[in-house]
């Protein structure tokens, strides 16, 4: 459970709020001002009962027979997610992944501003991405403080991740999005979200194997024995 203002919201609900917000912003850009819970649920990819339950944690927004006011609901979800004010973001580890993430153009529209790129490799330092110059990690503390960084994307190799994360946390940063393949050991008040693309693909492989098993087809996608070998649980 996560505290949002004075209410406690299940972590799974918080994880779905960005999907609702994205769907609402799409509706707004299509000029749609009201939406039904079923319409919003469909756009968000969740069931409408789930959506109504999730939104009930944030207060009462819908009007029976009319639906939700798109702008009001989007503002409420934004506020609940703490997106009212801009989050200043740094990427630490600007290799293949960090560079690709730096060049993502969607941060500003979602309330984030990329303000620093940091790397340890002298060959990488000085390169430019997204209008920023990569700076040396020797100056990490100084850079995070000077730019008011509140969130960090960590994309260093696993071997460096723990030590770098500790330095980031010592600067007061409490939210880290980690792509590094290690379980970071950090104080309890630090929130780490870990992204594992290969792990997500394994989950898809599991579902593919389950579907093939149900249809009596023992061979996985494209005959891949690794996929075929995954056994779904009951
Ligand atoms: N989670 C995922 O889904 C996923 C997907 C791809 C890669 N990864 C992981 O992300 C990380 C980055 O992958 P990549 O392909 O970009 O690797 P990369 O080697 O291209 O980039 C890593 C960068 O980190 C820098 N670095 C090393 N030590 C550092 C330190 N102490 N401080 C600051 N920078 C430092 C390196 O100089 C390099 O530029 C790896 O750990 C990789 O395993 C995760």
Note the pLDDT of residue 223.
43
**Nearest atom in ligand 1 to 198's CA:** 3
DSSP-derived secondary structure letter, 136: E
Of residues 118 and 215, more confidence is placed in 118
Query: Tokens 């999730």 sit at which residue?
Result: 54
Per-residue confidence at 234, pLDDT binned at 50, 70, 90?
Answer: very low
**Nearest atom in ligand 1 to 97's CA:** 16
Closest CA to 155 of 147, 165, 145, 146: 165
Give the tens place of pLDDT for each residue, 215-225. 876 544 444 44
Per-residue confidence at 230, pLDDT binned at 50, 70, 90?
Answer: very low
Ligand 1 midpoint to CA 16 (Å): 28
How many other C-beta atoms lie within 10 A of the C-beta of residue 8? 10
Percent of the chain, pLDDT > 70? 88
Lowest-confidence pick of 6-20, 28-42, 135-149, 208-222: 208-222
Give the tens place of pLDDT for each residue, 81-96. 877 677 899 999 999 9
Note the pLDDT of residue 5.
65
Domains plus CATH for the chain? 2-80 (1.10.10.10), 87-195 (3.40.50.720), 198-228 (no CATH)
DSSP H stretches of helix in the chain: 11-29, 37-44, 48-56, 70-80, 96-102, 140-147, 158-170, 197-214, 225-228
Ligand 1 midpoint to CA 164 (Å): 12
Note the pLDDT of residue 215.
82
Asked whether the ipTM of the predicted complex exceeds the cut of 0.85, the reply is yes
Note the pLDDT of residue 226.
41
Per-residue confidence at 228, pLDDT binned at 50, 70, 90?
Answer: very low
Radius of gyration of the chain (CA): 21
Q: What is the mean pLDDT of residues 18-32?
A: 88
Ligand 1 midpoint to CA 202 (Å): 21
Q: What is the mean pLDDT of residues 67-90?
A: 85
Note the pLDDT of residue 26.
87
Which residues surround ligand 1 with Cβ inside 6 Å? 92-98, 118-121, 124, 137, 155-158, 160, 164, 179-181, 195-198
Note the pLDDT of residue 6.
66
Ligand 1 midpoint to CA 161 (Å): 9
Give the Cα separation of 73 and 197 in Å (integer): 31
pLDDT at 65 over 80: no
Q: Give the contacts of 16 (CB within 8 A, at least 6 positions apart).
A: 44, 46, 50, 51, 54
Q: Give the contacts of 42 (CB within 8 A, at least 6 positions apart).
A: 48
Are 129 and 115 a contacting pair, CB within 8 Å? no
**Nearest atom in ligand 1 to 179's CA:** 1
Q: What is the mean pLDDT of residues 109-137?
A: 95
Percent of the chain, pLDDT > 90? 55
Closest CA to 197 of 183, 179, 221: 179
**Closest residue CA from atom 25 of ligand 1:** 93
């Amino acid at each position: 459970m996560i505290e949002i203002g004075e209410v406690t919201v299940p972590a799974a609900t918080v994880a779905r709020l960005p999907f609702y917000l994205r769907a609402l912003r799409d509706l707004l850009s299509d000029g749609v001002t009201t939406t039904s819970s079923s319409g919003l649920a469909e756009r968000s990819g969740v069931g409408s009962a789930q959506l109504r339950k999730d939104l009930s944690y944030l207060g009462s927004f819908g009007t029976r027979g009319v639906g939700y006011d798109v702008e009001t609901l989007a503002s409420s979800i934004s506020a609940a997610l703490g997106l009212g004010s801009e989050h200043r973001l740094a990427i630490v580890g600007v290799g293949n992944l960090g560079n690709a993430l730096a060049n993502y153009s969607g941060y500003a529209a979602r309330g984030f501003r990329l303000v620093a790129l940091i790397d340890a490799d002298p060959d990488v330092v000085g390169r430019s991405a997204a209008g920023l110059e990569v700076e040396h990690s020797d100056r990490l503390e100084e850079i995070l403080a000077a730019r008011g960084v509140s969130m960090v994307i960590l994309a260093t190799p696993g071997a460096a991740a723990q030590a770098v994360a500790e330095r980031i946390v010592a600067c007061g940063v409490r939210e880290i999005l980690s792509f590094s393949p290690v379980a970071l050991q950090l104080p309890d008040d630090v929130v780490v979200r870990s992204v594992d693309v290969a792990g997500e693909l394994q989950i898809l492989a599991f579902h593919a194997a389950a579907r093939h098993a149900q249809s009596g087809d023992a061979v996985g996608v494209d005959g891949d024995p690794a996929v075929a070998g995954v056994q779904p649980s009951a």
